[in-house]
Amino acid sequence: MTPQTTLKPIGEIVTPYKVLADCPRNIDPNGPPCELVLRGDLRDGLLGLATGQRILILYWLEHAERSVLRQNSRRTGELAGVFALRTPNRPNPIGVAVLPIEQIIDSVITVRGLDCLDGTPLLDIKPAMSGE
Ligand SMILES: C[S@@+](CC[C@H](N)C(=O)[O-])C[C@H]1O[C@@H](n2cnc3c(N)ncnc32)[C@H](O)[C@@H]1O
């Protein structure tokens, strides 16, 4: 039997995009400011992060279609499995982005150019490693 895994968002992401059609296809480090708004009780977890540092951001693309296993690539048009694509439609619709921190004030981290809807649940933040 597959064990159940429970994820509790650590906050939410504020972006300019209110509808899916307005979201960019992927991240753009020169895009508009977006905020990672951490839950207040988790603020201590930000110790050690600094402006300019690149972070790996994990988020939950909650409006995705989770039963799709193959679809046409938006880039090439060719049919491919979802694990060969960056599509939000996948069994576990986790989005990832690596972006530099522009500013940290209290429990809000500002980055530029995320590709998700306003209000998207934030799952985790980690320091990026070289190559990510
Ligand atoms: C191609 S995915 C890439 C996500 C992430 N950068 C990645 O590589 O894992 C980005 C697209 O996901 C869709 N999207 C954004 N926010 C979403 C949400 N909250 N639920 C479902 N789909 C979303 C939008 O169509 C956006 O263009």
* pLDDT tens, residue by residue, 31-48: 999 999 999 999 999 999
* Residue 31 token pair: 């895009």
Answer yes or no: is the C-beta of 26 below 6 A from any ligand 1 atom: yes
In a domain, 132, yes or no: no
What does the chain come to in residues?
Answer: 132
Domain that holds residue 118: 11-127
Region 97-112: mean pLDDT is 98
In a domain, 1, yes or no: no
Is this prediction's pTM over 0.95? yes
Answer yes or no: is the C-beta of 12 below 6 A from any ligand 1 atom: no
In a domain, 4, yes or no: no
Say how many Å lie between the first and final Cα of the chain, rounded. Answer: 33
Number of domains within the chain:
1
Amino acid at 130: S
In a domain, 3, yes or no: no
pLDDT at 107 over 90: yes
- 89 forms beta bridges with none
In a domain, 38, yes or no: yes
In a domain, 113, yes or no: yes
* pLDDT tens, residue by residue, 6-15: 999 999 999 9
Q: Pick the residue whose CA is nearest to atom 5 on ligand 1.
A: 95
CA 74 to ligand 1: nearest atom: 1
Answer yes or no: is the C-beta of 62 below 6 A from any ligand 1 atom: yes
In a domain, 5, yes or no: no
In a domain, 2, yes or no: no
Answer yes or no: is the C-beta of 27 below 6 A from any ligand 1 atom: yes
Sign of CA pseudo-dihedral 107, 109, 110, 113 = negative
Q: What confidence score (pLDDT) does residue 4 get?
A: 87
Answer yes or no: is the C-beta of 34 below 6 A from any ligand 1 atom: no
Q: Pick the residue whose CA is nearest to atom 12 on ligand 1.
A: 88
Answer yes or no: is the C-beta of 99 below 6 A from any ligand 1 atom: no
Tell me if residue 119 falls in helix, strand or coil: coil
What CATH number has the domain bearing residue 30? 2.40.30.70
